[in-house]
Structure 1
Amino acid sequence: MESTIRKPFQGVTNIILFNWHTFVIALIFILLLIIGKYYFLDNILFNIAILATLLSIVISLVTSLYIYDLTDLYKLSFLDKLIALKPASIVNINAGFDEISEVVKSRYPDSRFSVFDFYDPLLHTEISIERARKLYEPYPETQVINTKAVPLEEGSVDVILLMFAAHEIRNEEERIIFFEQLRKAITIQGMIIVVEHQRDLINFFAYNIGFFHFYSKNNWLKVFTEAGLEVSKEIKITPFISGFALKKYGTAS
């Protein structure tokens, strides 16, 4: 099992390893522009396109370096701002790549702790997740589950964590069904913690068209509402990442 101590530049290295095809495509595009500039038409538009593509790559990598390597994101200290109770039970749910279970277990050593993995290669087809699964072993005793049949009894869990996982459920109806089941699983005062990038302006500047892989805040709120949940608290963990604490609709904070 990997140590909880993250290696230097582990975050940005993972981005490159999991998404190397994107960078290869961008570099091929730059090469074609250079060929076009020198062999066909020496036009300022070629220079602009080359610089814009290079700048996009650099900005996305520098942003990833900042978020995943230079902040305290993976120390999970933000959970103190989102979790308003002392949880007797915690479930961490991932989409096939788990970077936080060891840290969660160390932060809440007295809580009953379970880890679920909802990754289904037939439904969740992101190549980056496939590569991540090949490079990193799952947390011990991780249980593989189905998003439409989460094996949790009603009112049995105090806190459910979803960090960079829920957006991998690309079908909106599937996401709603999934969150409906999580709502039923939490206790009356229980919470679902969702940590995600959003499809907003700052993530567009950081990731260009890559921001389409994220969902807008309005979409998240729609999914939460239709699943019978409401936002108890929302924080910005970094300028690029939001954390939502969800509760059953109509319950007291």
Structure 2
Amino acid sequence: MIRMVRYNWPKYLVTAVALVVVAALPWPWRLLAVPGAAGVAVSLAATWWAYDRSRLYDWRWALDLLPPPRRYAVVSTGLDEISGTLRRLLPAAEATLLDCYDPRVMTEGSVRRARKLTPPPRGSVPAEPGRLPAATGGQDAVFLAFAAHELRVPAQRRALFAEVARVLRPGGHLVLVEHCRDPVTVAAYGPGAWHFYPRREWLRQAGAARLTLAAETTMTPLIRALVFRR
């Protein structure tokens, strides 16, 4: 949760200033600060629950959903927080780290701050959504954790899923982890939930790339993992 606040601190600062201003208004207008403060509290509590108190960053749960990969790729779009854990869990596997961050496309301040605070791991290779530098059929698994939603243009998402399908061997798996825009996420994050896509978007992109849903699980109702098989 602390990392998320650091990545998004301008938003929280503006919200805090606005709440202070509203709270200083005459009665009963100051009561307008109550729903705003409640919304911030719910958002922070949801983030703490989803990231700090769930099994998400353990990543053993993912390895229970697919055969142990001998070769796998981690595709990120600005922030890679999983490759270190996967390397510890799969010490004998060959890891390829593909960094699709493009500051011309991913212009959100939170992504820039996240990248500055958490630089790409050593060995990361620059990549593009439509051009992953990996051999065709060479990967047993591809991991996409909170990365695909940063591609705001539909054609970029289509291109990424097509490339993932290309680099996966027949029978290989894509592990996609995302917040999905649904009533629970909207209740937790309010308008911020529209930064994410509904579950049907990922099913649509996977279907277009001829990937089949093989497993699904949740880390709290706010985070969903979809495992697709080529």
TM range, smaller chain = over 0.9
Where structure 2 has 5 or more consecutive residues not aligned to the other structure, the ranges are: none
Q: 1:202 aligns with which of 175, 184, 188?
A: 184
Contact 1:93 1:162 in 2 (8 A): yes
Give the aligned length. Answer: 230
The equivalent residue for 1:54 is 37
Matching residue's letter, 2:184:
I
Match of 1:236 among 215, 218, 225: 218
Give 1:228 deviation, angstroms: 2.0
Query: 8 Å contact 1:118–1:144 — kept in the other structure?
Result: yes
Q: Does 1:82 align with 2:65?
A: yes
Which one of the candidate residues 26, 50, 53 is aligned to 1:70?
A: 53
1:43 pairs with 19, 25, 28, which one? 28
Residues 18, 132 of structure 1: 8 Å contact kept: yes
Q: Describe the SS at the equivalent of 2:205.
A: helix
> Is 1:15 matched up with 2:42?
no
Q: Which residue in the other structure is 2:92 paired with?
A: 110
Which deviations, in whole Å up to 9, do the C-alpha atoms of 1:2-40 show, x marking residues without a partner?
xxxxxxxxxx111111001111221232233234x32xx
Question: Is the aligned partner of 1:154 residue 2:143?
Answer: no
Paired position in structure 2 for 1:185 = 167
TM-score, L = length of structure 2: 0.95
User: Moved runs in structure 1, 4+ residues, more than 3 A?
Assistant: none
Cα distance in 1 for partners of 2:21, 2:88 equals 50
8 A Cα contact 2:54 2:219, kept in partner: no
SS of the aligned residue for 1:245 comes to strand
SS of residue in 1 equivalent to 2:132: coil
Residue segments in structure 1 that go unaligned for 5+ positions in a row? 1-11, 249-253
SS in 2 for 1:199: coil
Hey, what does 2:145 align to over in structure 1?
Answer: 163
Distance 1:247 1:75 in 2: 22
Give the C-alpha shift of residue 238 in structure 1.
Answer: 1.9
Identity level (%): 27
Check whether the contact 1:82–1:244 (CA below 8 A) recurs between aligned residues: no
Deviations 1:94-131 (A, max 9, x none): 11111111110111111111111101001111211110
List aligned pairs for 1:210-249, cutoff 5 A: 210-248=192-230
2:156 to 162, 174, 177: 174
- Matching residue of 1:3: none
- Partner SS for 1:148: coil
Contact 1:199 1:217 in 2 (8 A): yes
Separation of aligned partners in 2, 1:80 and 1:97: 21
1:7 corresponding residue in structure 2: none
Cα displacement (A) at 1:190: 0.3
- Residue 60 of structure 2: SS of its match in structure 1? coil
In the alignment, the residues of structure 2 paired with residue 33 and residue 152 of structure 1 have an alpha-carbon distance, to the nearest angstrom, of 54
> 8 Å contact 1:78–1:237 — kept in the other structure?
no
Alignment match, 1:133: 115
Deviation at 1:62, TM superposition (A): 1.1
* TM-score normalized with structure 1 length: 0.87
Instruction: Deviation per CA, 1:142-168: give whole Å up to 9, x if none.
Output: 111111211122111000001111111
Deviations 1:65-99 (A, max 9, x none): 1221122211112113322x221101111111111
